[in-house]
Structure formats: C-alpha cells, structure tokens
Chain A
Amino acid sequence: MDSHELSELDPRPETGRPAQAEDLLKVVDLCKHFPIQAGFWRRTVGHVRAVDGVSFVLHHGETFGLVGESGCGKTTTGRSILRAIEPTSGQILFKDQELGWVDVATLDEGDLRVFRRHTQMVFQDPYSSLNPRMTLLELIGEPLLNNGVRDSAARRERVAELLSLVGLRPEYIRRYPHAFSGGQRQRVGIARALALNPQFVVCDEPVSALDVSIQAQTLNLLQDLQEAFGLTYLFVAHQLNVVAHICDRVGVMYVGKLVEVADTETLYSSPLHPYTEALLGAVPHPDPDYRGHRTLLAGEIANPASPPAGCYFHPRCPYAVDECSREEPELRELQPGHFVKCHLAEELQLAGVDLEV
C-alpha cells in the first residue's frame, strides 16, 4: 500500500474533503481500546476506550494542539499515530517524503522503518526518557548509527552540530544526562528527535515538567526549529496557555473523543462545545483582578471503561437536555474549519476568553 491516492482511502464525512497539497497527516476514525483483564485466567471482561473514533487533518508546517484532561486519550492518540503502540482500528494516512501517501496503521516492518526515520517524538519527562548510562554523543548519535551513519567522526560532527542547534555547548558531548538540569535534558531530547531531519514531530507535554522560566526557553526553541526546518508538530498538552501560544489549530478531547476542533483564536474566543467553555473558564489567570472568575465544573471525568450513554459529557454539562443522554452527537463542521460534537452547538451562546493583545 505504498503510493495510494488519498481519495481512494475512503475518508469519513467529517474529514471527507479531497486530499489537498498542504495536508501531511489525515487521521480517520482512529481507535485504541485496551483490554481489561480479570480473574485467574486473565479473561478480557471489557475495554478501556482510550481513543474512540478520532479524526483530524494536519497541514504541512503547522502546529496542531491536542488538549484535554488526564485520561482523555491525547497521549495515546499521539503514540498510535507513530505506531509506538498498535492502534485497534482506523486509518493514519501520512504523506511520507519517500513513500508517498501511506496508511501507517498497516505498514509492514520495512516501510515502518522508513516512516520512523521521518517522524519523531519528544517526551514529557526529561529524566526518564534519557538512558543515564549513555553520554550525549551516544544518546543523540544512536538514531544516526541505527540508520547507517557508521563513520564515528561523521557522527560526532553531526551530534556537535545538533547540540549547538538546541543551545547546548558542543564540549558537553562526553557528559552524561545527570550533569544537566531538566531544561537542558529536554534540549538533549529535542536534539535526539531532530538527528534524522524528521518531517513530523509529536511533542508529548514537552514543557509540563519544566520550571516556568525554562518552559519559555523550550517553547522558543521549538518555534525556532519549526521555522528553520519546516517541521510539523502534533503538540499534546494540558496547559491551555501554552497551547494558545504555540498552536495554529487545536483539538479538544474528552474521554477518548474529539469534541471540538478549530483554529486557535476561534476556539479560545468563541468555543462551541460546553466542555471547551468549562476548560477555558477553569484556567487560572496570572492576575489577581480576575480572581473568582473561574467556572466550577461539577463532577468528575467519565470512566473510559464504562462511559455514560449519549454524549459522554452530559452528566457534567450545565446545558444538557434529554436528547444528550440518549444520543451521541456527531462531529459536525458548523463553520468552515470549526468542528464540534454537540447537539446544541447552534443554540448555545458560550463564553470564550478575551484574547490579550
């Protein structure tokens, strides 16, 4: 299934427009269900629907944010797209620079190796994602070695170049990760991800574990690298201010499903889904004059192993009507590029946040 035309691949209605030149990735109805096993025989007694029918499109050179609370499936979505975990079903159509349009979900071993050269991941925790027994030369050089750069002088040169690219001194090449602070380690992780000149990088909460002053440096670095190399980012995060700063478009997830997708400004200033409104209302503002303006959402996130009927958000939704508990809404394109999964989207007047200029 090497160079398929995208239109042959039966895209779903919600992303059903024909492939366009600027598309890089088209996720169609992606599912990842984890079995729940119980008893002596470890029989499967149910499934956690971590990702449950997610569809979206990514354009070349953009940053697409996936936000939501813990357990909403945003990380699992990112990992499934790179086949770091095997998706249960769905299509992951990717325009690989060598292979052309491919469905990542069905790639064989050989093609998967090629695909993985062109895609990378940056992890949340810079402490556990780097092997403490490897020097920076070995850590960053490993993907080069695995992909045929056998000449050690050439490798050393490339690693030194990558280190200066991410703002670390090339003299550090022989040091081990423990000699570095969290922010510096995250730079090492980024250098490693960039070693093979990827097209597409999944950033999984890349700044959540970092101190405020280091977050800013790291976000700036990611933006600089994107501009320099035309990278496309899938940016998985829960901090809405960080997402507003770095993302061009944003998808909001709730219990395994995408509930709203729009460009960043539209999503923040005029959300169409009640959950997006609640998330935006809950963000703490770094200004004491805003005190007490946080909205309180009642209840807790639904259990993805036994979600409620109808719209998963209805037990917590202040606007829910009967229909919401019976029937699951479709993800609909209400305005061009603005998708929402809510029965009442046309009627509700939801509050966004004022965008500071």
Chain B
Amino acid sequence: MDPGILIDIQHLHTNFYLREGVVKAVNGASLTIAKGRTLGVVGESGCGKSVTAQSILQIVPRPGRIESGDILLHIAEGDLDETINITDLNPGDPLMRDIRGSRISMIFQEPMTSFSPVHTVGNQLEETIKLHQPEHRDEAPTRVLDMLRRVGIANPERNVESYPHQLSGGMRQRAMIAMALMLEPSLLIADEPTTALDVTTEAQILALMRDMQSELHMAIMFITHDLGVIAEMADDVVVMYLGRVVEKAPVRAIFHSPKHPYLQALLESIPRIQKRTGARLQAIEGIVPNPLDVPPGCPFHLRCPDFIPGVCDEVVPADTTVDEGHTVACHLYTD
C-alpha cells in the first residue's frame, strides 16, 4: 500500500435489507483517503455518502450491513506498520472499538447525536480518555480544558461544567469537535457538520477545522451536498450518485474541468451571485431513481443529456483515467 494512503476502500458494497427489497446504498464504491489531506465526498441525498462513512466505522445501522469489499486502514506509528482490513472485523471486536475514537472519529450535523443530554460536557470529554487511555486518566481534566480552549470555547473553566443544551449551536458544534479530537485521531469523518449552521457560524467552524487539521496532521473525510463548502475545504473530491463513485479528482479539476455529465449538470445548476437576467437555472431534469429499483447500466442514464442508447442503459461504466489522479465512470470517456 502507498505509504501516503491512510484508508483504501475497494469495491465496497453495503446493503440494506428492507421488507420491500434490497437497497444497495453503497454499490461497489472505491476511494482512498490520503494522510493529512481532506477528501470531500459530495452527492445528493441517498447517494451513499453517509453509509460509506458508517461502513468505515462499522456503525451501519440495521437492517444494513457490509456485503463485500475491503476497507484497508494503514497504521504507521514508530515501529508499528500494519494494515488492517476493517471489513474483516466484527462491529463489536475490541480492535474495532479501539479504532473508533482513538484512530478514526466522527462528527455529525446535529451535535446532540454525539452528546448525552444528562452529563456535562466536561464529563463526556474526560470519558473518552478514561475509556481509551486509562493510564492517562489523571491528566484528563487538564487535557479537556486545553482542548476546549483550542477549539475556541469561550470561558472553558465554566463551560466544562455546562450541559450540552446550555451551549449555543455554534458552541455545541465546537464542543463536539473537541470531543472528536480528544485522542488526536488520524482521520476525522465529518458528516455535513455545518449544514444546519448559519453562514457566519459555518465560516467559523470550517476555519476551526482547518486549523485543527494543520495542528494535528489528521486526514478529514468531509461529507456534504454543498459544493461551495467542498471548494472551500477539500484537497481531493469524490462525487457519488446512487451508491457509486462517478468521478474522483483533485479539487481544482472537479470545479474547472468536470467530466461526468452529472457533475457538470450539478455545477451548472447552482444559483450563482450574478447579474440578474431573469434567466432560468440549468436544472437537471427528472429525479433520482428509487433506490429499490435502480436502473440497469449507468445509474445516471435516465437523466443524462448525453445518453447513448444501447450502451448507457445496459453496461455499468468502468472507471476511466482522464488525467493524473482524475477518473470518471462514464461511457463518453471509454474508448
């Protein structure tokens, strides 16, 4: 495995077994997360971006489960240099519990997902140290105060005694980040962390995440539907549609030379701050197909302006490399 790679996901399939049928939430996705860099994962609701993240942590909610594929985690610290295949582990495996929290942690759109409402913020942050590093339990209170200060919580001595509901939305988001970073993980998974925030608070939280990343040299997997946030945060980007990765590229290539018709259309459809002409937006026609009834061939072909009959509706396109580090899954680019 390339030493610069932290996570290497190959052909991941995660399914949900519902009474109505099987939803292939992640349908053969492959992607890599580089050490110390930010991978943006972008797509609309139901594209499988959150389930991919849940698969990495083995926290896919029932009735979902990882069906097949590999999630390789590369651990290199001092003399230790090993690769763990997360899909080989049981969700309850002690090694998996060790990975969660101390090597990979996650933050969510709604901070109360991470917090218990009946314990103080300080207690909950100390808990992470007591659980994962019992030998350091004496230092816990000072480390918690220090972390609260680093994430910009005003008056940490007082707020450490607060219950989560007593903090404002922005402060709660900061406390959640503090908890996720307590054990200095090598990967932070952020699932729409700023979607519910106002723009001025969002700008503050994104700046904080960037600062903490350069301080701790961690990788970030940033999941969002907001292309503006992707442009602001990501080094590399994967675009997902209906459980599949349709395009992967460095961030500038995603915005300046998008290849997949879905990505091109998505970028066209964002309203820009521009001179008003009364013109209509370039909308993508139709809707995302029902995940229980995914069309054969390319998942986007029903809405695609460049649809090739007999090809796109029959064969699933393979990844084609169009430039260095830039791949696209579309028949327009295959020979």
Q: Which of B114-122, B155-163, B184-192, B200-208 contacts A (4 or more CB under 8 A)?
A: B200-208
Q: Are A285 and B228 also in contact (CB < 8 A) when A214-B287, A245-B281 are? A: yes
A69 partner, pick from B200, B280, B287, beta carbons under 8 A:
B200
State which residues 42-69 of A face B: CB under 8 Å: 69
A200 contacts partner chain B, Cβ-Cβ < 8 Å:
no
- Size band of the interface chain B makes with A: 35 or more
CB <8 Å contact, B276 and A265? yes
Name the residue on B nearest A67 (C-beta).
B199
B229 & A284 in contact (Cβ 8 Å cutoff): yes
A99 interfacial contact with B, CB 8 Å = no
Q: Is the interface of A mostly helix, strand, loop or mixed?
A: helix
At the interface, yes or no: A213 with Cβ under 8 Å from chain B? yes
* Residue in contact with A219 in the complex, picked from B232, B274, B281, CB distance below 8 Å: B281
In the bound complex, do residue A294 and residue B45 qualify as a contact, i.e. CB atoms below 8 Å apart? no
CB of A181 within 8 Å of the partner chain: yes
Chain A residues near B278 (CB-CB < 8 A): 223
Give which listed residue, B198, B207, B274, B276, contacts A296 with CB less than 8 A: B207
Q: Mark A287-301, 1 if CB is under 8 A from B, else 0.
A: 111110011110011
Q: How many A-B contacts if CB must be within 8 Å?
A: 145
Q: In residues 198-220 of chain A, which contact B (Cβ within 8 Å)?
A: 211-217, 219-220
Whether A282 contacts B203 in the complex (CB less than 8 A), given A212-B266, A290-B231, comes out as yes
Closest residue on chain B to residue A281 by CB atoms: B203
CB-based nearest A residue for B273: A244
Residues of B within 8 A of A217 (CB): 283-285
A residues in contact with B230, CB < 8 Å: 286
Contacts of B273 in A (CB 8 A): 240-241, 244, 268, 283, 353, 355-356
Q: Which residues of A contact B200 (CB under 8 A)?
A: 69, 278-279, 282, 297
Give B227's nearest chain A residue, CB to CB: A286
Residues on the B chain within 8 Å of A300, using CB:
168, 170-171, 201
Shortest 3 CB-CB contacts between residues of A and residues of B: A284-B228, A245-B271, A69-B198
Give me 16 A-to-B residue pairs in the complex whose CB atoms sit less than 8 angstroms apart, sorted by A's number: A182-B45, A211-B288, A213-B284, A216-B284, A220-B280, A244-B271, A246-B271, A265-B275, A279-B200, A282-B202, A284-B231, A286-B270, A297-B200, A297-B204, A355-B274, A356-B275
List residues of A whose CB falls within 8 A of some B CB: 69-70, 181-184, 211-217, 219-220, 223-224, 238-242, 244-246, 248, 264-265, 268, 278-279, 282-291, 294-297, 300-301, 353, 355-357
